[in-house]
Structure 1
Amino acid sequence: MTGQNLHFRTRLAESIRAPGLTSIPGVFDMISARIADQIGFDALYMTGYGTTASHLGIPDAGLISYAEMLSRVTAIAGGTRTPLIADADTGFGGLLNLERTVRGYEAAGAAAIQIEDQEFPKKCGHTLGRKVIPAEDMAQKIRVAIDTRDDPELLIVARTDARTVHGLDEALRRGEVYAEAGADILFIESPESEEEMERICQSFDTPLVANIVEGGRTPVLSAPALAKLGYSAAIFPAFGFLAAGAALREAYTTLRETGSSHGGNQPLFDFSDFNRLMGFEDVWAFEAKWFQQNDKG
């Protein structure tokens, strides 16, 4: 069976701190996680939007619970070998809630935990109506997260959502506060131009992550362009579920219109390969070992 090895957090830290850009796909269920895991990325990003949508079918508006998110972290981290960055929203409440969240996510196998400075309940970072808590309250959350983690290689990603409502200057000020509080990675959410992205990268020595959402508020740039700006990593949280949604809509529309999958032009995952992806080879090996022994007995 799959699962993290003992050095997965160190591998992620080394990848983020190395020169160049680490491109990280968003995963939202075990199918997306296993496919991305096989492709060979340096890290995976468990998207809160995608997890909420796939698990509950509701908006990413602070409606999913800590227990529900923890169950997804446990499944994805336990079912893959690639270091996992896990979205923990606001920590699901105050400082005690955050302490519980860090302990739970770390025990579940996350390699990095992302927390943000929105008021609870939070909203998706590329939507309107977000409100942020005082910067010092968020800095205290970062200090609690650092004090709580048992493994110093568990990375704390500090995100600010101040740009959209309060402007870039306030977002940069908060980034400085969060870096001083000890955040390992800074996440200045939803800059609205390449010029703003350049200014962000020129403002910090702490590693920076870009959040690339197709159709969102931030320009979608190439990997070389993001690296040239100075980003250490880029997450693509929506790319997978937007692609999956488009493929499913096309496949189901064909099925509704024709009554069959016969003659469809949609690219399909080979069924035998999908069986292997889901681990059926382990089932078959188990049956071959134990059921044949019973037959002989």
Structure 2
Amino acid sequence: MLNVTKTAAEKRKAFKDGINSGTLQRVPGAFSPLVARLLEEQGFDAIYISGAVLSADLGLPDIGLTTLTEVATRGHQIARSTNLPCMIDVDTGFGEPMSAYRTMVEMENQGLAAFHLEDQVNPKRCGHLDNKDVVPVDVMVRRIKAAVEARQDENFTIMARTDARGIEGLDAAIDRAKAYVDAGADAIFPEAMKDESDFEAFRKGVDVPILANMTEFGKSDLLTTKQMQDLGINIVIYPVTSLRIAMGAVESAFERIRDEGTQEGVVPQMQTRARLYELLNYEEYNKFDTSIFNFKV
């Protein structure tokens, strides 16, 4: 909108340059365009759009129930609201390799800068749950190759996620990552790593940017940005943090309203009307509107 000045192509290049810069890219998750606007204002490097968050926001568990159309639509809504590049979770590509091809086309058309495609069996489940299963390597390789073939902008980042760590072991997960890079993946997302040693092994094993998923209540230790920078990790996501904070605050506030009969006690914790208008850039919209609708009937 009025505050967005960068094109999708510019944002894609910024994302690719960032993950190859040697500086850890900090990428929190946004569950809405408004949250993305706030995160841009706070100086983060990019925006992450989580499949788990999108599912939860629709009142669904993260077990592959969302559709390509739902994910692409939410991705577009968030991407068009910010100058930051946006990376989106496309699960398993919503089907077989031909579906991964279409997924690439749709995400590029919707203004996204990057996505990650995973090697779980379709339909998938949350990466930090047990009893996951992964497809044979050659099936995932075909998914990646289909996406690469569909890509029009060379700066769109295709990231391969592997969930094999908890199923086949660390060495097998690294071997899978190498095969995915050979198939054309620009970066690797090793899911459900346990600790620094896991990330260190991946860093030694593959020569492309690596993502660390710092999700709360999961299987991974919550590392600091300094620890991750020292390990040579290129990008960190905080996928569900904003939703968990927001829902925790909503639950607590409405418990008080239910019990006390008024919201008076939680008003100090609320974002003010003035702050919301500032974040929405109301003043600039008003100036723009007045400059056009300046006639009298």
Instruction: Provide TM-score, normalisation by structure 2.
Output: 0.94
Report the counterpart of residue 44 of structure 1 in structure 2. 47
Between the aligned partners of 2:268 and 2:63, the Cα distance in structure 1 is 33
Between the aligned partners of 2:224 and 2:152, the Cα distance in structure 1 is 36
Residue 283 of structure 1 deviates from its aligned partner by: 4.7
For residues 48-197 of structure 1, what are the structure 2 equivalents within 5 Å?
48-54=51-57, 56-197=58-199
Letter of the structure 1 residue corresponding to residue 123 of structure 2: P
Residue 193 of structure 1 deviates from its aligned partner by: 2.4
Letter of the structure 1 residue corresponding to residue 79 of structure 2: A
| Residue deviations 1:164-187 (CA, integer Å, cap 9, x gap) | 122112111101111111211101
Residue 267 of structure 1 deviates from its aligned partner by: 2.1
Between the aligned partners of 2:47 and 2:289, the Cα distance in structure 1 is 32
Report the counterpart of residue 29 of structure 1 in structure 2. 32
For residues 215-294 of structure 1, what are the structure 2 equivalents within 5 Å?
215-264=217-266, 266-281=268-283, 283-293=285-295
Q: Is the 8 A contact 1:251 1:266 kept in 2?
A: no
Report the counterpart of residue 15 of structure 1 in structure 2. 18
Q: CA RMSD in A?
A: 1.6
Between the aligned partners of 2:29 and 2:200, the Cα distance in structure 1 is 24
Secondary structure of 1:31 counterpart:
helix
Runs of at least 5 residues in structure 2 that lack an aligned partner in the other structure: none
Between the aligned partners of 2:266 and 2:193, the Cα distance in structure 1 is 41
Between the aligned partners of 2:288 and 2:209, the Cα distance in structure 1 is 45
Q: Is the 8 A contact 2:137 2:176 kept in 1?
A: yes
Letter of the structure 1 residue corresponding to residue 76 of structure 2: T
Q: Is the 8 A contact 2:75 2:112 kept in 1?
A: yes
Residue 290 of structure 1 deviates from its aligned partner by: 4.4
Residue 108 of structure 1 deviates from its aligned partner by: 0.4
Aligned residues: 294
Identity of aligned residues (%): 33
Instruction: Provide TM-score, normalisation by structure 1.
Output: 0.94
Q: Is the 8 A contact 2:22 2:232 kept in 1?
A: no
